[in-house]
Amino acid sequence: MRVVGEGNANVLIDLGDTDCLYRCCVRFRDSLKRNNEYSIENLQYIQTCVKMVLGDLLCSMELVELPLEGFEGILGQYVGNLDDSKIIVFRMPNLKPRILEKVAYQDQFTQIYTSHDLSRVVLELKPKWVYNPSDYCRNCSHSRLKGRELRYCYSKLNQDPLHLTELLASAGELPAGFQRDLASYLASSTNVLAVLYEAQRELKHEALSGIESVADVTSSMSLAMTLRDVTCFIEWSSDADQLRVNVVDVDLKPKEKFVHWRETQLRLDSFEDKCYH
Ligand SMILES: [Zn+2]
C-alpha cells in the first residue's frame, strides 16, 4: 500500500492492483466520517450532473467501502480524527500505468509520460478556464498574477490547434505518430477541450466577485467551477486506432469555497497586466 498521488482534497492509493487505484477524500481534516459522507454525495453528483455534460469522456469510478484497519498510518497523516471504522473510496482505473516511466514534460498544468520504447504516451492536462466569460484570458492572466509565464494556454489551444507546437516545444522525445494523432484529435469538434469549452460557456452565472454568502452559490456556478478544475488524460498507443480520453478530478465543490473564488476574482479584476488573445 502506497500513496501515488496527492491533491489538496484527495490522496490516490495503490493497493497493488495493476489496473486500478483507490482515491480517498481527505478534504475535511477533522473527521474521517465527514470525508466518507462527502464521497457518497460526491459520486452521486458526478454520476448525474457531471456525467450529463461529459458523457463517455468521464472516467469510470465506483464507490468501494474498505475497513479502516491497515489504512490508519496513511490516513492519519491527512485526517486528524479517524472517527469511523471504514473508509469510502473511489475505485478508478490507473490512467498512468507503471510502464509509462519516462517523464517527457512536466509543469503545473501538464505532464507527458512515455514508455521507454515510445510505444505509449500519456498526456495529463489541466485545461482550467477553456471558455472566458470576460474579454481577457483567465488562464494566462491568472498565471501572470501568480508570477508564472507559460508558453502555451489551453484556452488558446482550443481556439487554434496549431498552438500545439508551443505546448510540445519543451517536451523530450515523443513519437511522431502521437503528435500527428493528437493534432488531428484537437482539430475535431468533439475533442475534450471543445466539450469543456461548450459546457463552461453554457453555464451562465453571476460574477464570482459578487458572491456574499453560500446562498449565492448556484448549481450552475458550482458545476462551472468543477469543470474549470478537471484533469484530462489523453492516452496514445502505437497499436491503437484512436486516442483514449478520460476526465477525472470532477468533484463537487463545497459552497464555502466561494470565499476563495471571490478573492481570486477580485484580485484579477484589479490586476493591470491582464492577457488578451
Ligand atoms: Zn490564455
CA 78 to chain centre: 21
How far does residue 130's CA lie from ligand 1's centre (Å)?
A: 9
How far does residue 45's CA lie from ligand 1's centre (Å)?
A: 30
How far does residue 166's CA lie from ligand 1's centre (Å)?
A: 12
Question: In this structure, which residues have their CB less than 5 angstroms from ion ligand 1?
Answer: 137, 139-140, 153, 155-156
Mean pLDDT taken over the chain: 95
How far does residue 6's CA lie from ligand 1's centre (Å)?
A: 27
192 Cβ contact list (under 8 Å, min separation 6)? 57, 127, 232, 234, 245, 247
Strands 20-25, 86-93: pairing is antiparallel
Tell me the percentage of the chain whose pLDDT exceeds 70: 100
What number is the average pLDDT over the span 198-223? Answer: 94
How far does residue 138's CA lie from ligand 1's centre (Å)?
A: 7
How far does residue 273's CA lie from ligand 1's centre (Å)?
A: 13
How far does residue 11's CA lie from ligand 1's centre (Å)?
A: 29
CA 277 to chain centre: 24
pLDDT (tens digit, 9 = 90+) per residue, 219-264? 999 999 999 999 999 999 999 989 999 999 999 999 999 999 999 9
How far does residue 10's CA lie from ligand 1's centre (Å)?
A: 28
Report residue 250 as a C-alpha cell. 470532477
CA distances from 112 to 15, 23, 106, 224 (A): 24, 21, 6, 26
ipTM of the complex as predicted:
0.99
pLDDT (tens digit, 9 = 90+) per residue, 33-50? 999 999 999 999 999 999
AA letter at 87: I
- All structural domains of the chain, each given as residue ranges with its CATH number in brackets, are 2-93 (3.30.200), 102-269 (no CATH)
Q: What integer pLDDT is reported at residue 150 of this predicted model?
A: 87
CB 113 within 8 A of CB 100: yes
DSSP 101-114: -EEEEE-SSEEEEE
CA 94 to chain centre: 15
pLDDT band at 69 (very low <50, low <70, confident <90, very high): very high
Q: What integer pLDDT is reported at residue 7 of this predicted model?
A: 86
Residue 31 has pLDDT above 90, yes or no: yes
pLDDT band at 25 (very low <50, low <70, confident <90, very high): very high
